[in-house]
Chains A and B, each alone.
Chain A
Amino acid sequence: MDTMQAFRDVAANPLAYGDQYHRTKDRPLMGYLCSWVPEELILAAGLHPFRLMAAKININRADGHLQSYCCSLVRGVLETALGGGFGFLKGVIFPHTCDSIQRLSDIWRLQGITPLHADLVLPVKLNNESARIYFQEVLTRLKVEIESWRGIAINDDDLRQAIALMNRIRQTLKDIFELNAAAPGIISAQDSYALTRSSLLMDRFDLAEKLALVKSELDSRLAEYQSGGGKRLIIAGGFCDLPDIYGIIANAGADLVGDDLCVAGRSWSEPVAADRNPLLAITERYLKRPGCPAKHQSVTSRGEHLLQLVREKKADGVIFTWLKFCDPHAFDYPYLKDFLDRAGIPSLALELEDQLPGDGQMKTRIEAFLETI
C-alpha cells in the first residue's frame, strides 16, 4: 500500500531523512540514544527527536576510540558520527544504560561531535521511592539544560501537548501490532520493520497522521484477511538498533505476533498519564513499563513479563536476539530461557554480529527451529 512508502524510505535511509529534515524544517534535530530519553521533553522544547542509528559502513575511525569487543551499535554510531554522518544534529542526549553507552558519551563529548551534549544519568533501580524522586529530578535537570540551550521556558502545556502526541503515536503503533497479532501477516514483515524503525526517526506530527492512515487501511483489509497459518513467534531481547530480522523470520515461514524489544513493544506499551504533573507522569510511565535489562525492577520481572506476553499472544515459540558484546542482554538470556523451558515454551537464541550473515544462515536456523515446535 502506498501509505507505507514514506515509512520504507525513512527506514531505508535514516541519515538522508535527517539531512533533508534539517534543510527543510524549522525544528532543530536532537539526537538520542535509546528509549530511556523522553521524546516528550525534546518535542516540548520545539526540537525533533531523532534516534541515532548507525549507517551501514565499515568501522574505521571508531577503531581509534573503541576496541573491537564493543557492540556494533556503539561502534557504528561513533563511526557514523566521526565520518560526519550526523552533521544535521544540534545535540545528543545520552541516557545512562549500559557501560558502553556510558563511555560513548564521554568520547562524544571530548570529540565535540555535536554542539550540544547532555548526560541523562538515570537511576538503575526503578523499584522504590528514592529512585522515583531521583528519576524525576534528573528529568527536571535535563529540562533546565534544554531550556538554557533553547533560550526558552518549557511550560506544562508544552509538555502536555507533547505527551498527548506521543501517547497517540504509541497507541496507534500498539493497535497496529495488535491487529497484526490477531491477523498475522496483515502487514508484511518488511513493513512492520519499516514502521518500527521509522517511528523513531520521523517528524512526530507527520508520523501520528501517517500511522492513523496505516491503521485505517489495515482495518479495512481485515474483512478479506486469510490466515497463512504460520507458527506464531515472539521476538525478545534487543538491539539498540534494529537489523531487519523481521523479514528473515517471515521468509522462514513464521508469523511474528509480538515482541519484547525496547525499540518496539516495550516503547509503546504504556501511555503517559495526562492528569498530573507532566514530568512525574513521564517518570511513572518509565517505572511501570516492561523491563529493560540495564535497569532493575526485580530479579524476575523480565521473565514474568515474557511469559505473560507469550500467553497473551498465544505464541508457539520465542526468538531471542541481541547484539554480540551486549552485556545486559547476554546476562539475562540464560534465565529468560530457563523461564520459558520450565513453561514448556521452545526458544532459539540468535546473537547478531555486526552484519547479518548473508548466506541464508539465519533463515536456515529459524527453519530448523520451526520444525521442532
Chain B
Amino acid sequence: METKEIPKVRAVKKMKELMTTYYIEAKTARDSGRKVAWITSGGPVEPLIAMDIIPVYPENHGAMIGASKMGVDLCQKAEAMGYSPDLCSYARSDIACAPLDGGPIGGLPKPDMLICCNNICGTVLKWYEVQARFFHVPLFILDTPCCHTTFSPEAKKYVLAQFDEYIRFLEDATGRRFDYDRIKEVGKLSLQAQRLWQAVLDMAINRPAPLSAFDAFFHLALIVTLRGTQTAVDYYQTLLGEIQQRVAQGIGAVGRETYRLLWDNLPIWYRTKWLSEKFSSLDACLVADTYTSAWCGSLKYINEENFLDSLAEGYCRIYLNIGIDQMAQEVIGMIDKYEVDGLVMHSNRSCKPYSFGQYDIQRIITKERGIPSLIIEADMVDERSFSEAQVETRIEAFMEMLAEKKSTHVSEQHLES
C-alpha cells in the first residue's frame, strides 16, 4: 500500500491567523467604537459589512465548541438551565456559554443587536429570542418563507419589504445613514468570494480530488463570517491557487482515491479527524458535501446589477429552505458533477430540517442514480449521541459493499467489451 506523505495545505495557517484577528477585533469592538451584531449563518451579512458592523456567528461558535470537544459539558449546562437535551446542540452550547463566558474563546463578544434569518430552521428564531432576553438588545427577524415548491410573488414582496426594514433597523442601531454605494461594493466582493468558494469546491471534480469535504469544513469559516470583504476574496484566491497547483501535481486529499463519496448534513465536529482518517484508510475520499456548498448554492439567483433585490430570492431559496424533492435534485446534481460512487448521510439529531426527509432523499437518489448510501446516526456537537464502534462498523460494511459493487461493475464491463 502507498504511504505517500500528503503535503499540508499552506492556507490553513493563514486561515487560523485571520480567524484569530477577526475574533480579537470583534472582542475589542467597544474600544474601537464599532458595533457587534450576532447573525445566523444563512443571514444576509452584506448590509452589516456595508455599515461597518462586525458580524459574529453563534453557529460558527457552535462549530468551534464541537471541534474543541467542549460540547457535552456546555450542553449539560444548558440542560441544567432547563433546556431539553433534544434541542439543537449549537443552540444549547451557545446559550450555556453566554452567562458563563465559557467555551473555547471565553464567550463570544457581546452583541449590540441580533439578526435572525430563519431560512435555515425554526430553531434560530427561538435561540435568538433567548439571547435577546439575555442581552437585552434589539432583535431583527428576517423572515424568509419556505419555498416548498415555489418562491411566490407575495413572498418576494414580503422579503423585499423586510430588506428595507433591515436597513432602517441598522440605521437606528448605529445612528448612521445606510451607504447605498458601499453595499454595491460589498455585494460585488460577496459574490466574488462566493464564486471563488465555488471554484475551490469544484476543484474536487479532478481525480484524485485535491481537497475533501473535511478540508472544506475547515476553509468554510471565512465565507460564512467575512463574505463581502476583500480579506475573504484574497484568501480564497490564494487557496484556489494552491489547490490548482495540487491538481497540476496530481496530489490527492487521500493517499489512494478509489472511492469518491458525497457527505450530507453538518460535520460531526468532534470527530472530523477520526472520520477523515477512517475514510482515507479505506481509500475513500469525501469529494463534496451539501453543507459547505450551501454558501454558494444560490449564486444562480443573484444579480450583480441589482444586488439588494436579488438577495431576497437568493436568501430564500437556499438548500434547507426548499422542498425535499428539490433538495434531492441538488444532491443528484452534485453526484453527477463530482462523479460520486456513494452517499454518506449524517442523520443529525440536532438539526431537524436537515435530517427529516433524508430517507426520502436517499430513496430518490437510489431510484435516479442507483448509488448506495450510508446513514450515520450522530450529532454535530453533542458527543453523547455518537457511538464510535457502531459508526466504524457501519462505515466498514458500507465500504465493503461499495468494493463489491465496483468489482462486479468492472467485471461486467469486461464481459461487455
Q: Which of A174-199 contact B (CB under 8 A)?
A: none
Could you tell me the distance in whole angstroms from the C-beta of B366 to the nearest C-beta in chain A? Answer: 13
**Would A109 and B323 be within 8 Å (CB), given that A119-B148, A121-B152, A333-B82 are in contact?**
yes
The answer to whether A300 and B133 touch across the interface, beta carbons within 8 angstroms, is yes
Contact between chains at B353 and A327 (CB < 8 Å): no
Query: Do B122 and A327 touch across chains, with their CB atoms under 8 A apart?
Result: yes
Cβ B122 vs Cβ A66 within 8 A: no
Contacts of B157 in A (CB 8 A): 133-134, 137
A104 to B149, CA, bound (A): 14
Selected interface stretch from A93-101, A149-157, A272-280, A305-313: A93-101
The winner among B83, B122, B126, B357 for most chain A CB atoms within 10 A is B122
Known: A70-B356, A103-B352. A121 touches B145 (CB 8 A): yes
Q: Mark B123-143, 1 if CB is under 8 A from A, else 0.
A: 101110110110000010101
Q: Are B82 and A123 in contact (CB under 8 A)?
A: no
Q: Which of A65, A67, A138, A349 has the most CB of B within 10 A?
A: A67
Confirm or deny: A332 has a beta carbon within 8 angstroms of a beta carbon on chain B. yes
A82 CB to closest chain B CB (Å) equals 12
Q: Is B404 an interface residue (CB 8 A)?
A: no
**Cα–Cα, bound, A119→B151 (Å):** 12
Determine whether the beta carbon of B87 is less than 8 Å from that of A124: no
Proximity string of chain A (318-349) to chain B, C-beta cutoff 8 Å, 1 when within and 0 when not: 00000011011011111101000000000001
What distance in Å separates the Cβ of B205 from its nearest Cβ neighbour in chain A?
30
A137 to B155 CA separation, bound complex (whole angstroms): 9
CB neighbours of B82 from chain A (8 A): 333-334, 337, 349
Of the candidates B152, B355, B356, the one having the most CB atoms from chain A within 10 angstroms of its own CB is B356
**Shortest beta-carbon distance from A343 to chain B in Å:** 16
CB of B154 closer than 8 Å to a CB of A: yes
A125 touches B356 (CB 8 A): no
Instruction: Place the interface of chain B in its size category.
Output: 35 or more
Q: B146-160: which residues lie under 8 A (CB-CB) from chain A? A: 146, 148-149, 152, 154-155, 157-158
The answer for the CA separation of A297 and B157 in the assembled complex, in Å, is 21
Contact B81 A334 (CB under 8 A): yes
User: Which residue of A103, A105, A293 contacts B126 across the interface (Cβ within 8 Å)?
Assistant: A293
Query: Does A64 belong to the interface (CB within 8 Å)?
Result: yes
| B161 partner residues in chain A, CB cutoff 8 A | 130, 133
* Interface membership of B84, Cβ < 8 A: yes
| Shortest CB distance B93–A (Å) | 14
The residues of A that contact B81 with a CB separation of less than 8 Å are 334
Known contacts: A67-B347, A324-B86. The answer to whether A96 contacts B145 by CB under 8 A is yes
B360 touches A65 (CB 8 A): yes
- Identify which of B118, B139, B352 contacts A327 (C-beta below 8 A): B352
Smallest distance from the beta carbon of A112 to chain B beta carbons, Å? 12
Question: Within the complex, what minimum Cβ distance (angstroms) separates B44 from chain A?
Answer: 16
- Say whether B357 contacts A107, CB under 8 Å: yes
> Interface on chain A toward B: helix, strand, loop, or mixed SS?
helix
In angstroms, how far is the closest chain B Cβ from the Cβ of A260? 17
| Contacts known (A109-B323, A134-B157, A325-B86); A103 close to B132, Cβ less than 8 A | no
The total number of A-B Cβ pairs within 8 Å is 144
Q: Given the complex of chains A and B, what is the CA–CA distance between A121 and B145 in angstroms?
A: 6
How large, as a class, is the contact surface on chain A?
35 or more
Residues of A near B359 (CB, < 8 A) are 64-67
Bound-state CA distance A128–B146 (Å) is 19
Instruction: List the A side residues contacting B123 at CB < 8 Å.
Output: 99, 327, 331
Do A133 and B352 contact each other (CB < 8 Å), given the known contacts A124-B141, A300-B133?
no
Tell whether B165 is near chain A: CB-to-CB under 8 Å. yes
B352/A69 in contact, CB under 8 A: yes
The residue in chain B whose Cβ has the minimal distance to the Cβ of A122 is B145
How long is the Cα–Cα vector from A21 to B349 in the complex, in angstroms? 39
Q: Cα distance A351–B359 when bound, in Å?
A: 27
Check A299 for interface membership: any CB of B closer than 8 A. Answer: yes
A64-B359, A121-B146 as given contacts; A106 in contact with B325, CB under 8 Å? yes
List the A side residues contacting B88 at CB < 8 Å: 327
For residue B146, give the distance in angstroms from its CB to the closest CB of chain A.
Answer: 6
Residues of A with C-beta under 8 A to B148: 102, 105-106, 109, 119, 121
Residues of B within 8 A of A67 (CB): 347, 349, 355-356, 358-359
Chain B residue nearest to A105 (CB atoms) is B148
- Asked whether any CB of chain A lies closer than 8 Å to the CB of B162, the reply is yes
10 contacts between A and B (CB under 8 A): A99-B356, A100-B356, A106-B325, A106-B360, A107-B324, A107-B357, A134-B155, A299-B139, A327-B126, A331-B123
Interface set of B (CB-CB < 8 Å, partner A): 81-84, 86-88, 91, 118, 121-123, 125-127, 129-130, 132-133, 139, 141, 143, 145-146, 148-149, 152, 154-155, 157-158, 161-162, 165, 323-325, 347, 349, 352-353, 355-360
Using a CB–CB distance below 8 Å, which chain A residues touch chain B?
A: 64-67, 69-70, 96-100, 102-107, 109-110, 119, 121, 123-125, 128, 130-131, 133-134, 137-138, 141, 293-294, 296, 299-300, 324-325, 327-328, 330-335, 337, 349, 351
Closest 7 CB pairs of A and B: A334-B82, A331-B126, A103-B356, A134-B158, A330-B84, A137-B154, A130-B161
Given A100-B352, A110-B324, A119-B149, 15 extra CB contacts under 8 A: A66-B356, A66-B359, A67-B349, A99-B122, A102-B122, A103-B353, A121-B148, A121-B155, A124-B143, A128-B165, A133-B161, A327-B126, A331-B127, A331-B130, A349-B82
